[in-house]
Amino acid sequence: MSTGIASAAAQLTRPFAAVSPRTRTRIPLIVTALLLVVMFSVGSVRYEGFLSAQVVLNLLIDNGFLLVVAVGATFVILTGGIDLSVGSMVALSTMLTAWLVESHGWSLATVIPLVLLVGAASGTLMGWIIHTFEIQPFIVTLAGMFLARGLCYTISTESITISDPTTAGIAQTRLYGPGGLFVSVPVVIALAVLVIAFVVLHHTRFGRNVYALGGNESSARLMGLPAGSTKIAVYAVSGLCSALGGLLLTFYMLSGYALHAMGMELDAIAATVIGGTLLTGGSGFVLGTAVGVLVLGMIQTVVNFQGTLSSWWTRIVIGALLLVFIVLQRLMSGRRPAAD
Protein backbone atom coordinates (compact mmCIF):
# COMPACT_ATOMS: atom_id res chain seq x y z
CA MET A 1 0.00 0.00 0.00
CA SER A 2 2.86 2.38 0.87
CA THR A 3 4.42 1.58 -2.49
CA GLY A 4 1.16 2.53 -4.20
CA ILE A 5 1.01 5.83 -2.35
CA ALA A 6 4.61 6.61 -3.26
CA SER A 7 3.85 5.73 -6.89
CA ALA A 8 0.85 8.05 -6.90
CA ALA A 9 2.96 10.85 -5.40
CA ALA A 10 5.58 10.27 -8.08
CA GLN A 11 2.90 10.64 -10.75
CA LEU A 12 1.86 13.96 -9.21
CA THR A 13 5.40 15.33 -9.13
CA ARG A 14 6.19 14.27 -12.70
CA PRO A 15 4.41 17.20 -14.44
CA PHE A 16 6.42 19.67 -12.34
CA ALA A 17 9.75 18.00 -13.12
CA ALA A 18 9.76 19.47 -16.64
CA VAL A 19 9.19 22.99 -15.32
CA SER A 20 12.30 25.11 -14.83
CA PRO A 21 13.29 25.71 -11.17
CA ARG A 22 12.80 29.47 -11.58
CA THR A 23 9.25 29.02 -12.84
CA ARG A 24 8.56 26.30 -10.28
CA THR A 25 9.25 28.65 -7.38
CA ARG A 26 6.68 31.09 -8.74
CA ILE A 27 3.83 28.60 -9.06
CA PRO A 28 2.65 28.86 -5.41
CA LEU A 29 2.64 32.67 -5.68
CA ILE A 30 0.61 32.52 -8.91
CA VAL A 31 -1.84 30.11 -7.29
CA THR A 32 -2.20 32.42 -4.28
CA ALA A 33 -2.83 35.47 -6.47
CA LEU A 34 -5.45 33.56 -8.49
CA LEU A 35 -7.06 32.40 -5.26
CA LEU A 36 -7.34 36.01 -4.06
CA VAL A 37 -8.94 37.07 -7.36
CA VAL A 38 -11.39 34.15 -7.28
CA MET A 39 -12.40 34.84 -3.68
CA PHE A 40 -12.99 38.52 -4.44
CA SER A 41 -14.96 37.66 -7.59
CA VAL A 42 -17.17 35.14 -5.79
CA GLY A 43 -17.72 37.55 -2.93
CA SER A 44 -18.68 40.29 -5.36
CA VAL A 45 -21.33 38.05 -6.92
CA ARG A 46 -22.74 36.72 -3.65
CA TYR A 47 -22.71 39.75 -1.36
CA GLU A 48 -24.08 43.23 -1.89
CA GLY A 49 -21.47 45.95 -1.38
CA PHE A 50 -18.54 43.52 -1.67
CA LEU A 51 -17.47 44.82 -5.08
CA SER A 52 -15.72 47.93 -3.83
CA ALA A 53 -12.17 49.24 -3.79
CA GLN A 54 -12.71 50.22 -0.16
CA VAL A 55 -13.25 46.55 0.73
CA VAL A 56 -9.74 45.82 -0.55
CA LEU A 57 -8.31 48.81 1.31
CA ASN A 58 -10.10 47.61 4.46
CA LEU A 59 -8.10 44.38 4.18
CA LEU A 60 -4.96 46.48 4.62
CA ILE A 61 -6.49 48.59 7.39
CA ASP A 62 -7.51 45.49 9.35
CA ASN A 63 -4.31 43.53 8.67
CA GLY A 64 -1.55 46.14 8.43
CA PHE A 65 0.03 44.96 11.67
CA LEU A 66 -0.07 41.32 10.49
CA LEU A 67 1.63 42.33 7.23
CA VAL A 68 4.54 43.86 9.13
CA VAL A 69 4.88 40.82 11.39
CA ALA A 70 4.68 38.44 8.43
CA VAL A 71 7.38 40.37 6.57
CA GLY A 72 9.71 39.83 9.52
CA ALA A 73 8.77 36.15 9.65
CA THR A 74 9.61 35.87 5.94
CA PHE A 75 13.23 36.84 6.61
CA VAL A 76 13.52 34.05 9.18
CA ILE A 77 11.75 31.38 7.14
CA LEU A 78 13.88 32.20 4.08
CA THR A 79 16.92 31.07 6.09
CA GLY A 80 15.18 27.83 7.03
CA GLY A 81 14.39 29.00 10.57
CA ILE A 82 11.20 29.84 12.41
CA ASP A 83 10.18 32.42 15.00
CA LEU A 84 7.34 31.47 17.36
CA SER A 85 7.79 34.53 19.57
CA VAL A 86 6.33 37.14 17.21
CA GLY A 87 2.77 37.06 18.58
CA SER A 88 3.93 37.42 22.17
CA MET A 89 6.30 40.24 21.18
CA VAL A 90 3.38 42.04 19.54
CA ALA A 91 1.39 41.74 22.77
CA LEU A 92 4.36 42.91 24.84
CA SER A 93 4.75 45.94 22.57
CA THR A 94 1.11 46.90 23.06
CA MET A 95 1.47 46.49 26.83
CA LEU A 96 4.67 48.51 27.03
CA THR A 97 3.20 51.29 24.91
CA ALA A 98 -0.06 51.51 26.85
CA TRP A 99 1.65 51.19 30.24
CA LEU A 100 4.29 53.84 29.61
CA VAL A 101 1.96 56.28 27.87
CA GLU A 102 -1.06 55.94 30.17
CA SER A 103 0.36 54.95 33.55
CA HIS A 104 3.63 56.89 33.46
CA GLY A 105 2.83 59.76 31.12
CA TRP A 106 5.69 59.16 28.69
CA SER A 107 5.43 60.81 25.32
CA LEU A 108 4.72 58.61 22.31
CA ALA A 109 7.88 59.93 20.65
CA THR A 110 9.92 58.43 23.51
CA VAL A 111 8.01 55.17 23.77
CA ILE A 112 8.16 54.19 20.08
CA PRO A 113 12.00 53.99 19.83
CA LEU A 114 12.15 52.15 23.16
CA VAL A 115 9.60 49.53 22.06
CA LEU A 116 11.39 49.02 18.73
CA LEU A 117 14.70 48.65 20.57
CA VAL A 118 13.21 46.01 22.89
CA GLY A 119 11.91 44.04 19.92
CA ALA A 120 15.16 44.21 17.97
CA ALA A 121 17.23 43.34 21.06
CA SER A 122 15.09 40.31 21.90
CA GLY A 123 15.34 39.05 18.34
CA THR A 124 19.09 39.58 18.32
CA LEU A 125 19.45 37.67 21.59
CA MET A 126 17.45 34.71 20.29
CA GLY A 127 19.42 34.69 17.04
CA TRP A 128 22.69 34.77 18.95
CA ILE A 129 21.62 31.84 21.14
CA ILE A 130 20.50 29.85 18.10
CA HIS A 131 23.79 30.47 16.29
CA THR A 132 26.23 30.22 19.21
CA PHE A 133 24.81 27.15 20.92
CA GLU A 134 23.41 25.53 17.75
CA ILE A 135 19.98 25.07 19.29
CA GLN A 136 16.91 24.50 17.14
CA PRO A 137 15.09 27.81 16.45
CA PHE A 138 11.82 26.16 17.43
CA ILE A 139 13.04 25.66 21.02
CA VAL A 140 14.66 29.07 21.46
CA THR A 141 11.77 31.07 20.01
CA LEU A 142 9.26 28.96 21.95
CA ALA A 143 11.07 30.04 25.11
CA GLY A 144 10.97 33.62 23.84
CA MET A 145 7.24 33.28 23.25
CA PHE A 146 6.56 32.22 26.85
CA LEU A 147 8.94 34.85 28.23
CA ALA A 148 7.38 37.75 26.32
CA ARG A 149 3.83 36.65 27.14
CA GLY A 150 4.77 36.25 30.80
CA LEU A 151 6.24 39.77 30.89
CA CYS A 152 2.89 41.06 29.62
CA TYR A 153 1.17 39.68 32.71
CA THR A 154 3.77 41.20 35.04
CA ILE A 155 2.81 44.61 33.67
CA SER A 156 -0.93 44.07 34.03
CA THR A 157 -3.49 41.29 33.85
CA GLU A 158 -6.11 43.75 32.66
CA SER A 159 -6.49 45.62 29.41
CA ILE A 160 -4.98 49.13 29.47
CA THR A 161 -7.05 51.57 27.41
CA ILE A 162 -5.15 54.43 25.78
CA SER A 163 -6.70 57.89 25.95
CA ASP A 164 -3.56 59.82 25.02
CA PRO A 165 -4.59 62.48 22.45
CA THR A 166 -1.53 61.95 20.25
CA THR A 167 -1.99 58.21 20.04
CA ALA A 168 -5.74 58.52 19.49
CA GLY A 169 -5.17 61.19 16.84
CA ILE A 170 -2.83 58.95 14.84
CA ALA A 171 -5.21 56.00 15.21
CA GLN A 172 -8.22 57.97 13.97
CA THR A 173 -6.49 59.78 11.10
CA ARG A 174 -7.77 58.87 7.66
CA LEU A 175 -5.74 59.55 4.54
CA TYR A 176 -8.17 60.14 1.69
CA GLY A 177 -7.61 59.46 -1.98
CA PRO A 178 -9.71 59.67 -5.16
CA GLY A 179 -13.39 58.84 -4.87
CA GLY A 180 -13.46 59.15 -1.12
CA LEU A 181 -11.31 56.05 -0.63
CA PHE A 182 -9.20 56.11 2.51
CA VAL A 183 -6.53 54.28 4.44
CA SER A 184 -5.09 54.68 7.92
CA VAL A 185 -1.61 55.79 8.95
CA PRO A 186 -0.61 52.22 9.95
CA VAL A 187 -1.36 51.08 6.38
CA VAL A 188 1.15 53.57 5.00
CA ILE A 189 3.74 52.38 7.51
CA ALA A 190 3.05 48.72 6.66
CA LEU A 191 3.42 49.36 2.92
CA ALA A 192 6.66 51.27 3.54
CA VAL A 193 8.00 48.26 5.49
CA LEU A 194 7.00 46.00 2.59
CA VAL A 195 8.88 48.15 0.07
CA ILE A 196 11.99 48.34 2.26
CA ALA A 197 11.94 44.57 2.78
CA PHE A 198 11.61 43.97 -0.97
CA VAL A 199 14.59 46.20 -1.70
CA VAL A 200 16.69 44.61 1.05
CA LEU A 201 15.94 41.04 0.01
CA HIS A 202 16.31 41.47 -3.73
CA HIS A 203 18.80 44.29 -4.18
CA THR A 204 21.34 44.07 -1.35
CA ARG A 205 24.17 41.75 -0.37
CA PHE A 206 22.40 40.95 2.89
CA GLY A 207 19.35 39.75 0.95
CA ARG A 208 21.51 37.47 -1.21
CA ASN A 209 23.10 36.08 1.95
CA VAL A 210 19.64 35.32 3.37
CA TYR A 211 18.68 33.29 0.30
CA ALA A 212 22.05 31.55 0.20
CA LEU A 213 21.82 30.60 3.88
CA GLY A 214 18.38 29.12 3.37
CA GLY A 215 19.41 27.29 0.22
CA ASN A 216 22.34 25.48 1.83
CA GLU A 217 24.01 26.70 5.00
CA SER A 218 27.06 24.51 4.57
CA SER A 219 27.66 25.77 1.04
CA ALA A 220 27.15 29.34 2.21
CA ARG A 221 29.86 28.90 4.83
CA LEU A 222 32.24 27.32 2.30
CA MET A 223 31.66 30.32 0.03
CA GLY A 224 32.82 32.59 2.84
CA LEU A 225 29.42 34.17 3.45
CA PRO A 226 28.77 35.51 6.99
CA ALA A 227 26.29 32.78 7.90
CA GLY A 228 26.38 33.47 11.63
CA SER A 229 25.84 37.21 11.48
CA THR A 230 23.16 36.76 8.81
CA LYS A 231 21.26 34.30 10.99
CA ILE A 232 21.41 36.65 13.97
CA ALA A 233 20.35 39.58 11.77
CA VAL A 234 17.20 37.91 10.43
CA TYR A 235 15.96 37.24 13.96
CA ALA A 236 16.72 40.86 14.83
CA VAL A 237 14.65 41.91 11.81
CA SER A 238 11.83 39.62 12.93
CA GLY A 239 11.92 41.07 16.46
CA LEU A 240 11.94 44.62 15.10
CA CYS A 241 9.00 43.91 12.80
CA SER A 242 7.11 42.25 15.66
CA ALA A 243 7.60 45.32 17.85
CA LEU A 244 6.51 47.61 15.02
CA GLY A 245 3.53 45.36 14.37
CA GLY A 246 2.67 45.71 18.06
CA LEU A 247 2.74 49.49 17.76
CA LEU A 248 0.43 49.34 14.75
CA LEU A 249 -1.91 47.00 16.65
CA THR A 250 -1.88 49.51 19.52
CA PHE A 251 -3.09 52.21 17.13
CA TYR A 252 -5.71 49.80 15.77
CA MET A 253 -7.03 48.71 19.17
CA LEU A 254 -6.10 51.78 21.25
CA SER A 255 -5.22 49.47 24.09
CA GLY A 256 -2.59 47.15 25.45
CA TYR A 257 -3.58 43.67 26.56
CA ALA A 258 -1.66 40.53 27.43
CA LEU A 259 -4.08 38.46 25.33
CA HIS A 260 -3.59 40.54 22.18
CA ALA A 261 -2.16 38.68 19.17
CA MET A 262 -2.89 35.19 20.48
CA GLY A 263 -1.92 32.85 17.65
CA MET A 264 -0.54 35.61 15.47
CA GLU A 265 2.72 33.70 15.06
CA LEU A 266 0.73 31.00 13.25
CA ASP A 267 -1.07 33.59 11.11
CA ALA A 268 2.28 35.10 10.12
CA ILE A 269 3.72 31.69 9.21
CA ALA A 270 0.54 30.79 7.31
CA ALA A 271 0.62 34.03 5.31
CA THR A 272 4.28 33.48 4.48
CA VAL A 273 3.78 29.88 3.34
CA ILE A 274 0.57 30.62 1.42
CA GLY A 275 2.50 33.47 -0.21
CA GLY A 276 4.96 30.97 -1.65
CA THR A 277 7.91 30.95 0.76
CA LEU A 278 9.34 27.47 1.30
CA LEU A 279 9.38 26.33 4.92
CA THR A 280 12.77 24.76 4.23
CA GLY A 281 14.15 28.16 3.20
CA GLY A 282 16.00 29.49 0.20
CA SER A 283 12.98 30.38 -1.93
CA GLY A 284 10.19 32.88 -1.57
CA PHE A 285 9.06 36.44 -2.16
CA VAL A 286 8.15 39.11 0.33
CA LEU A 287 5.49 40.35 -2.09
CA GLY A 288 4.02 36.84 -1.95
CA THR A 289 3.76 37.24 1.81
CA ALA A 290 1.71 40.41 1.25
CA VAL A 291 -0.63 38.48 -1.04
CA GLY A 292 -0.85 35.76 1.60
CA VAL A 293 -1.91 38.33 4.21
CA LEU A 294 -4.59 39.63 1.83
CA VAL A 295 -5.88 36.07 1.34
CA LEU A 296 -6.20 35.61 5.11
CA GLY A 297 -7.96 38.95 5.37
CA MET A 298 -10.28 38.06 2.48
CA ILE A 299 -11.29 34.82 4.23
CA GLN A 300 -12.24 36.80 7.33
CA THR A 301 -14.12 39.34 5.21
CA VAL A 302 -16.15 36.64 3.45
CA VAL A 303 -17.04 35.07 6.80
CA ASN A 304 -18.17 38.47 8.09
CA PHE A 305 -20.27 39.19 5.00
CA GLN A 306 -21.89 35.77 5.25
CA GLY A 307 -23.00 36.61 8.78
CA THR A 308 -24.21 33.10 9.65
CA LEU A 309 -20.80 31.46 9.99
CA SER A 310 -18.80 31.19 13.19
CA SER A 311 -15.50 33.06 13.29
CA TRP A 312 -13.85 29.66 13.78
CA TRP A 313 -14.51 28.97 10.10
CA THR A 314 -11.71 31.43 9.39
CA ARG A 315 -9.27 29.15 11.24
CA ILE A 316 -10.65 26.06 9.54
CA VAL A 317 -10.21 27.50 6.04
CA ILE A 318 -6.76 28.88 6.83
CA GLY A 319 -5.68 25.50 8.20
CA ALA A 320 -6.94 23.74 5.07
CA LEU A 321 -5.19 26.23 2.79
CA LEU A 322 -1.96 25.90 4.74
CA LEU A 323 -2.08 22.12 4.37
CA VAL A 324 -2.71 22.42 0.63
CA PHE A 325 0.20 24.80 0.13
CA ILE A 326 2.58 22.66 2.17
CA VAL A 327 1.71 19.71 -0.08
CA LEU A 328 2.13 21.96 -3.13
CA GLN A 329 5.58 22.96 -1.89
CA ARG A 330 6.45 19.29 -1.58
CA LEU A 331 5.36 18.68 -5.16
CA MET A 332 7.35 21.70 -6.32
CA SER A 333 10.50 20.28 -4.77
CA GLY A 334 10.12 17.17 -6.89
CA ARG A 335 11.04 14.88 -3.96
CA ARG A 336 9.20 11.59 -3.63
CA PRO A 337 8.03 10.19 -0.29
CA ALA A 338 9.84 7.08 0.76
CA ALA A 339 7.98 3.78 0.68
CA ASP A 340 8.03 1.47 3.72
Q: State the pLDDT at residue 262.
A: 94
The mean per-residue pLDDT over the stretch 254-278 comes to: 94
339 in a structural domain: no
- Domain count across the chain: 1
Smallest CA-to-CA distance from 249 within 204, 303, 190 is with 190
260 in a structural domain: yes
Tell me the pLDDT tens digit for each residue of 15-71: 555 555 666 667 778 888 999 999 999 999 988 888 889 999 999 999 999 999 999
253 in a structural domain: yes
88 in a structural domain: yes
Residue 132 predicted with pLDDT over 90: yes
Q: State the pLDDT at residue 163.
A: 93
**pTM of the shown model:** 0.91
Q: Which domain holds residue 230?
A: 27-333
9 in a structural domain: no
Q: State the pLDDT at residue 187.
A: 97
306 in a structural domain: yes
105 in a structural domain: yes
Tell me the pLDDT tens digit for each residue of 295-324: 999 999 988 888 777 777 888 888 888 888
Indicate which CATH number applies to the domain containing 212.
1.10.3470
Residue 192 predicted with pLDDT over 90: yes
Total number of residues shown for the chain: 340
7 in a structural domain: no
